[in-house]
Structure 1
Amino acid sequence: MRILRQGLMLAAMAAAPASAQVADLRSADQFRVCADPANAPVTTRDGTGFENKLADYFGQLLDRPVTYAWFPSGMGFITKTLRAGTCDVVIGYAQGDELVQNTNHYYTSVYGLVTRRDGDLARVDRLSDPALKDADIGVVAGTPPATHLARNGLAANMRGADLFVDRRVQDPTGDMLDNIRSGDLDIAVMWGPLAGPLVKGDPDLQFTPLLHEEGNPRLFYRITMGVRLEEQEWKRELNSLIRRNQDGINQILHEAGVPLVDDFGKQVMP
């Protein structure tokens, strides 16, 4: 994914002045968002995801209507949306990926544990807990918690879900939650912005952030907005909006149930 069509894009950038290209691509009268149409609770075509609400908020701040370029997340997402010029910003993007230029981060979140509220594992808050020795543990393959589970001797306990799927036809997050409810899984390690909103208010399930894990990889990550590599002015404009409206952003995230931590991994309460 990191080298996907980069040579072609760099050649195109060299063929025309960056300022002209930016002027041609970025809309001056719409807030055009690149998004997955079926990535609940993050983005959905019906506008109920928390990133949809953040898009609405930024559209109001910019006094522009929000429009979307829809494409499934995963391979080809940036190429088919942001780089194709059909949209101008990816609302949620992990800091440090070279496919986009990152804004300043607008929140930091953390992986955590989903359990039944009345279950034997409801008090577990770290992956080294001996109570996990005989547990069936759901985890998305290739994610940082899988490394911690293996380090703690729990590789055989892991029940993996795929990382890159077309969420229009597959729902690994929802499947794991259903399996915890049914007892097919005892516990799941999940990314907070996915699990937190889905578990919020659930009478049967709870989310416990993993705030005490030691060693790498870390389990909390900064989330930014992604823009095209050459769009410095647009990045600065978004950075200014993020800085001046952080309280409003946090309110939307807290109301959605997204677990927030500071840059040191300490929980930020509503």
Structure 2
Amino acid sequence: MTKRMPVVAANWKMNGSRELVNQVLLQIKQSGVCQDIEVVISPPATLYSYFDEQKKIHELDHVFLAAQNINELDNGALTGEISVGLAKESGCQWVICGHSERRSLFKETSKVTAKKFMKALNAGLKPILCVGETTEEKETGKTFSRLTAQIEAVMHLGGKQAFKDCLIAYEPIWAVGTGQAASPELAQEIHRFIRGMIASICPETAKTVRILYGGSIKPENAAALFSQPDIDGGLIGGAGLVPEQFIKICQLA
């Protein structure tokens, strides 16, 4: 059985501060959690460079900085947007692509997400592809077809090698920010489906690709979720803003 290094990623969204950067990095170093797992932090873009500087000061080589989003174009008259080049120059090593809030609030299509995914990959950054279904899609039995469409959009653009050096995060939209996580059994069923879909085009990649669960993970439910065979870690929202909770989740991974 292929052993996959667990990953715990925190998406701060439009929250955080330099002080929080300092607190989180200090607790990561003191706890030593990054010796056994990969830790990824995704703060707002204004904190990228500061985070990168502080990470180097603390000598945390297994803590990675992720951009929350990039534009699919390299440059242009796009006020407020950030290109992959700007993200990389600011120290980002990973990129979140297609987060549920980008898809729902900003109407980002799977085609645009796929372009961002490939832009990150071609720039040498590791993309985290977020996929998931809405409450309505879940209740009408469209979960698997929705996930298939989101993943196929990337396959169509990048071919069977697209997922060789990336992560996939299953984040059911009905669980994000609600406090109601998917049950470990349901999450495992979905993760097994995603891995099986990758296996259908590239069996070797399916063994090594890491699939994270995202959606109301907290210390109380993390252990049960992480114990599932196809769940390789988590994409953390609210708990990622509370250093003690985040460190506990990392320890459970």
Pair in the same fold by TM > 0.5: no
Higher helix share: 2
Which of 1 and 2 has higher RCO (CA within 8 Å, sep 6+)? 1
Looking at CA atoms only, which structure, 1 or 2, has the larger radius of gyration? 1
The TM-score bracket by the shorter chain reads under 0.3
After TM superposition, the score normalised by the length of structure 1 is 0.24
Higher strand share: 1
